[in-house]
Amino acid sequence: MADDLNWLLRRLVEAVPDTHSALLLSVDGIPKYWYGLDIDGADRLAALAASMCSLANQVGKKFSSEGSAGAGVRQVITELNEIILFVTAASAGSVLAVLAAREVDAGILSYEMQRLCTQVPAVLVTPTRYAAHQGNGTR
């Protein structure tokens, strides 16, 4: 299945001009599948994208008129001098991060990211590693 998802990420990068790389990660920052990055780049981008989602989620919880019910992160876009980073909630427990040049058509890239996330949502789900339980804080 890994090759199938890497192929989908490659297709996303190749379909939108000026797109450099794509990464599917768990919400806690573990890279699952990537295209256009080496392993170190995937690790680093996964940690940064997960942090951005967490920060955006906290902003939503604190300042959304709906409280925690309206806090779900849909997309975070960071525009820098040379690149733009798009981070989108892919499915339960998963995030899609894409790096592109500033010249990218942001609307088309956002559309293609959402399309990818809706095409294969069951495959994108990251299962919980362990069940939450009450107790003294030990696993």
Query: Which residues neighbour 74 within 8 Å (Cβ) at sequence distance 6 or greater?
Result: 88, 89
**Which CATH number belongs to the domain containing residue 30 in this structure?**
3.30.450.30
Q: What is the pLDDT of residues 16-45, one digit of tens each?
A: 999 999 999 988 899 999 999 999 999 999
pLDDT at 68: 57
Is there a domain that residue 132 lies in? Answer: no
Average pLDDT, the chain: 84
Is there a domain that residue 94 lies in? Answer: yes
Is there a domain that residue 139 lies in? Answer: no
Is there a domain that residue 138 lies in? Answer: no
Is there a domain that residue 63 lies in? Answer: yes
The DSSP code sequence of 55-124 is: HHHHHHHHH-TTGGGG----EEEEE-SSEEEEEEEEETTEEEEEEEETTS-HHHHHHHHHHHHHHSHHHH
Please tell me the total count of domains within the chain: 1
Is there a domain that residue 11 lies in? Answer: yes
| pTM over 0.75, yes/no | yes
pLDDT at 109: 95
Is there a domain that residue 13 lies in? Answer: yes
pLDDT-based confidence at 86, cuts 50/70/90? very high
Distance of alpha carbon 69 from alpha carbon 11, whole angstroms: 34
pLDDT at 69: 56
What is the extent of the structural domain holding 52?
A: 2-124
**3-class secondary structure, 22:** strand
Is there a domain that residue 70 lies in? Answer: yes
Q: What is the mean pLDDT of residues 95-118?
A: 93
Quote the DSSP letter at residue 44. H
